[in-house]
């Protein structure tokens, strides 16, 4: 299986995922696991596939790993 994503896009995704507080495993996600997560999400959410690949991939990770908003300290 070939994945056509640039290094710049990978860095952008990594920043997005870190900034959005995904509860990812400390050891990270293997690429094949990420692909399967996305494929499952895409199959279950065909109505959302109009969005960009970056947003769709992010949403698949949120569904798989959860999302926690940081609490702002006053």
How is the chain split into domains, by residue range?
27-51
With H, G, I as helix, E, B as strand and everything else as coil, classify residue 6: coil
Q: Which tokens belong to 9?
A: 């896009």
14-72 pLDDT per residue, tens? 666 655 567 777 787 888 998 999 999 999 999 988 888 888 888 898 889 887 655 55
| pLDDT over 80 (residue 2) | no
Whole-Å CA distances, 44 to 12, 13, 15, 49: 25, 22, 26, 10
Whole-Å CA distances, 31 to 28, 36, 62, 73: 10, 9, 16, 35
* Residue in the structure block whose two tokens are 């992010």: 58
What is the value of pTM for the model shown? 0.63
């Amino acid at each position: 299986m070939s994945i056509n994503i640039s290094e710049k896009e990978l860095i952008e995704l990594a920043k997005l995922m870190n900034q959005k507080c995904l509860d990812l495993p400390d050891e990270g996600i293997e690429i094949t696991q990420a692909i399967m997560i996305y494929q499952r999400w895409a199959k279950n959410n065909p109505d959302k596939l109009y969005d960009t690949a970056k947003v769709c991939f992010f949403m698949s990770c949120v569904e798989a790993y959860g999302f926690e908003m940081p609490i702002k300290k006053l």
